[in-house]
Amino acid sequence: MSERVLDWSWRHLPAVQQPTWPVPEVAEQATATLKSLPGIVDIQECDQLRREVAAAADGRALVLQAGDCAERFDTSPESTSATVRVITRIAHVLSRGVGLPVVVIGRMAGQFAKPRSGATEERDGVELPVYRGDVINSPEFTLAARIPDPRRMLTAHRAAVAKLGLVRSLNREMFVSHEALLLDYESALVRWDEPSGRWFSASGHLLWIGERTRDPLGAHVAFIAQLANPIGVKIGPTCTVDEVLSVIDRIDPAGEPGRLTLVARMGADRIRTALPPLLRAVVRSGRHVAWMCDPMHGNTIKLGAGRKTRRFEDIAAEVARFHETLGEHGVAPSGLHLELTGEDVTECIGRSPALSERDLARRYETACDPRLNRLQAIRLVHLTTRTFRKPASRPALISEGVLS
């Protein structure tokens, strides 16, 4: 934007996945304080990331976006360090195996809010509000812990600043990202950059919109479209051609290189049917975006005891099918979006290493969704390098004159 006026009309649009603060005045005080605090990232770094994502969209680099499902305020420095180390290691494996530079983006220093499928959850006949991430409430199953508290937004800012400092001490080239879910928090951390004449989010280098909040006419899209940061949008198997084209038009109307990344999270059993119509529509429209694979969220299952998990084989299969599908449409894959930890947790089952349903109780520590452990993440990226080394075919659309 060239004018120093942020459009607040998004506040009058549908905004899903937002908490109801018990005392609105406390929320107003918290957001006012957030507006007065220093930003967590600066716009020069956001611009650098946008240029690197543009290279990935052109097939000259790959993006590795990885980290925790839901960050906790009290995550230990040792746990954070372990996760940064495994991300750095698999980025090196990916770069060496594919022969391209890898842009490293952590799901860190801001991933404190989580979308949920229901407003409440029940245990042993007791129903309480659902846990929505540390920035809103706490996972302990008590009424006091589950009441939304807007003062937690200030704790989130302090935790993000501390986490980014630690991340940068371990890997200075790592960017940070999170889902732009809690609009009170995100809007309070928008800052004006005078030299460039643009608004940007100072809460993270890259923000993304999830499957539940990507309504082209909703508040999240209207808000995030005003920011200069690189943006990601998750697209699942229910996403239609009209929806994806409308989202692109609203967030990236000028076709700015590196501005928009579409993150496919279809599921291993649906990606080969759900993704091609969207790919064809985007390619034929002349829009140029980055395409990443999130093989985690579409492969979540619940086992007999009701515990969520993911099968390693399904995760690996979706990555392979994503690459095959893009290759058939002459589109270069831009990278991977993974939920993982550097800890030796037992949250995803499968052969790498061999973990069964019985192993889940041993170290099931996630605050929300199951994550790959250190060995699983390394194994997956080794498999990915084999997949991504295969040359992409460019058959059908070339003959139609769509691609050159």
How confident is the model over 328-379, as pLDDT tens digits? 999 999 999 999 999 999 999 998 788 999 999 999 999 999 999 999 999 9
pLDDT in tens, 139-149: 999 999 999 99
Give how far the C-alpha of residue 252 lies from the chain's centroid of Cα atoms, to the nearest Å: 18
CATH architecture label of 9-393: Alpha-Beta Barrel (3.20)
Q: How confident is the model at residue 163 (pLDDT cuts 50, 70, 90)?
A: very high
Average pLDDT, integer, range 202-222: 98
Q: What is the pLDDT of residue 305?
A: 75
Average pLDDT, integer, range 156-168: 98
Q: What pTM did the predictor assign? A: 0.94
The Cα 103–Cα 63 span in angstroms is 5
Whether the per-residue pLDDT at 392 is higher than 80: the answer is: no
Whether the per-residue pLDDT at 2 is higher than 70: the answer is: no
The Cα 28–Cα 385 span in angstroms is 48
Q: How confident is the model at residue 3 (pLDDT cuts 50, 70, 90)?
A: low
User: What residues does each domain of the chain span?
Assistant: 9-393
pLDDT in tens, 30-73: 999 999 999 999 999 999 999 999 999 999 999 999 999 999 99
Nearest Cα to Cα of residue 247 among 224, 269, 275, 279: 224
**305 in Cβ contact with 354 (< 8 Å):** no
**Tokens 């996945």, residue located:** 17
Considering the chain, what is the average pLDDT of its residues? Answer: 94
Nearest Cα to Cα of residue 314 among 266, 359, 360: 266
Average pLDDT, integer, range 63-85: 97
Distances (CA, A) of 225 to 1, 127, 185, 220, 287: 10, 37, 16, 8, 16
Whether the per-residue pLDDT at 403 is higher than 90: the answer is: no
The CA-CA-CA angle for residues 357, 358, 363, to 5°, reads 95
Q: What is the pLDDT of residue 396?
A: 39
Q: What phi and psi, each to the nearest 5 degrees, are found at residue 89?
A: -65, -45
Q: Where are the beta strands (DSSP E) in 25-149?
A: 62-67, 102-107, 120-123, 126-129
